[in-house]
Structure 1
């Protein structure tokens, strides 16, 4: 996608005040990147205008609207248009559940609405970043349904940890993680810990619950000190770093609230670095998936230096080819694979 003079935005929200706030915020961008070309009061209004417009580059879409809500509108948009969508959602438990569903359907990212409409301008730099990232995302990948692939290899039994896999992912993560967990057989020969960049609130809990609908193994939010074993699929909780420590013969996930690293907590680099430091004979693997920025690059270098293996998602399937690209360009990736080939590769090399 070439450089354009403007990124043309459609704002879809039933609140006239929110539409006005967003339009004002986008027009205040000091880099002059955005132009609001349309506003819509609900999903039906948005779909009607999309039929008549050819220049919409990104859509902001509210979840809760009359006539046709955000989820129903999103399904129709991704079925008919190659236009990236950023959701506006609440941080409530129900809002987090619907947000995860929207990301699974094909939304590229989301912005959490503040409790007060007047607080929305405080989020302007987050809004700029997410709309800009969405514009340059691989929207066809974001909207593509992940295939279900099952392994027919008989897994080893027991609670011992045979291999340790850590995964780092950001924008586009919920869809990518769904594809990953679908392919993991019951009791695989590895334990897996995930750092997904996500706002604090109920989102990670809702993500784990959503992934459980697709996984043969339990997917859960990690607890401090939790033992890692074959079949473990743990996700770092919102607002906490996750590290791995060895105690005796066992491996445990330990949480902390130390300062953010490169703006993130949890940090992929912190998880990967802790895995690199382990004095262990258990093979270690770092997997870097879709996401903006470079979190995970330093950690991947550390794992590689200590004899571990690094796997990166390819540009062909990454919704946002930022994090894996940075690792690949550092020359530390042992394997670069399409998303659907990563678990089969892990099953092959960990057996």
Structure 2
């Protein structure tokens, strides 16, 4: 039986969430603060933890950090509907949590019922998904480094995903394609033993990649991700070379407040000028735009070396808005410069059709590998189309992107 640990300082929330999960068939334990949650994570050995953010004695941020350093576990954050709650949630996600849910801004019975249903549904998805033990070990290494190198938790925070869709591609361990795939060169198999954080070789603070050859002028990159994605997106932006002068569109399944913060934090870490996308925005080389929550992001036109962007609130696709497919398909239809589509960790199949469209249009396509994807649904579904050129680990994605745009003969494709 799948074990779930509910950590919340509210007795009421522990009771309603715990009862709902028990009725759904889970073995449930509860903790009233982060300190108790850390202890139970060791003794109860849960498969999934639901973690409140703001708690007395030890908050959710510190609890996540300690759990990931000792017992790498799938952690779902419950975020307060405030700016402070948003920022704290992103800090916790930087330390290894996989996903989050926003608490309602009201306490009415309908709001609580909706929250409980969403928690159960998300736990179902996470329990069924192929959550990589290696990716969790990478997160554990991050937590270990944070605790040893930055004792006051002063490190830059990153984000993880929200709004993960239910549906096809949630449990796709070991998925394969008959199409030959080019493996990113120069990478090694990471340690697969969870719980031994220092032994995991995963340099998430690697220096930026250099462009040491001829590359296409003003290329366009589309990055798509869901569950577990923003932490990896942040790592990519830290390494993306400024002299590539790319135009970058990021589609991450997150609600509005979080996409705004994602753009701000990416901008602070990257050599690129990053903003949340606006309707009719002109995106130029060296700039990046993040699709805002609740809006699809399209490429309306490619004039000169700039892209004209379009936002719309059309129906959700694959249950999400923004959808990766919408952005990738529009880019495949309208981008005249060199184009590369990249799909990262996440549940569902959003992005598979977009990868097919980019490949059909003559673009390059990249998928994150299974070992470093916290959830392998989205990359696996893309790989199974037979249209992925390169499969690379998280810390090899930027190298693969640069290789995809080479014009000096180094790119075999």
TM-score between the two structures when normalised by the length of structure 1: 0.90
Q: Paired residue for 1:138, among 132, 144, 153?
A: 132
Q: CA deviation at 1:161?
A: 6.2
Does residue 35 (structure 1) correspond to residue 64 (structure 2)? The answer is no
Contact persistence 1:84–1:139 (CA under 8 A): no
Alpha-carbon RMSD across the aligned residues, in angstroms, is 2.1
Q: 1:153 matched to which residue of 2?
A: 211
Does residue 210 (structure 1) correspond to residue 265 (structure 2)? The answer is yes
- Of 314-323 and 129-138, deviating more is 129-138
- Residue pairs, 1:201-280, within 5 angstroms: 202-246=257-301, 248-249=303-304, 250-278=306-334, 280=336
Give the length in aligned residue pairs.
Answer: 337
Contact persistence 2:302–2:335 (CA under 8 A): no
Q: Paired residue for 1:55, among 30, 33, 45?
A: 45
Q: Paired residue for 1:298, among 353, 357, 362?
A: 353
Q: With CA pairs under 8 Å and 6+ residues apart, which has the higher RCO, 1 or 2?
A: 2
Contact persistence 1:85–1:134 (CA under 8 A): no
Distance 1:116 1:340 in 2: 41
Distance 2:243 2:213 in 1: 6
Structure 2 spans left out of the alignment, 5+ residues: 143-203, 407-413
- Residue pairs, 1:102-181, within 5 angstroms: 102-117=92-107, 118=109, 119-135=111-127, 136=129, 137-142=131-136, 143=139, 144-145=141-142, 146-153=204-211, 162-181=218-237
Runs of 4+ in 1 over 4 A off after TM superposition: none
Q: 1:3 matched to which residue of 2?
A: none
Q: CA deviation at 1:140?
A: 4.2
Q: CA deviation at 1:187?
A: 4.1
Q: Paired residue for 1:192, among 248, 261, 266?
A: 248
Distance 2:16 2:52 in 1: 14
Q: CA deviation at 1:214?
A: 2.4
Q: 2:148 matched to which residue of 1?
A: none
Distance 1:45 1:279 in 2: 53
Structure 1 spans left out of the alignment, 5+ residues: 1-5
Contact persistence 1:190–1:350 (CA under 8 A): no
Contact persistence 2:343–2:379 (CA under 8 A): yes
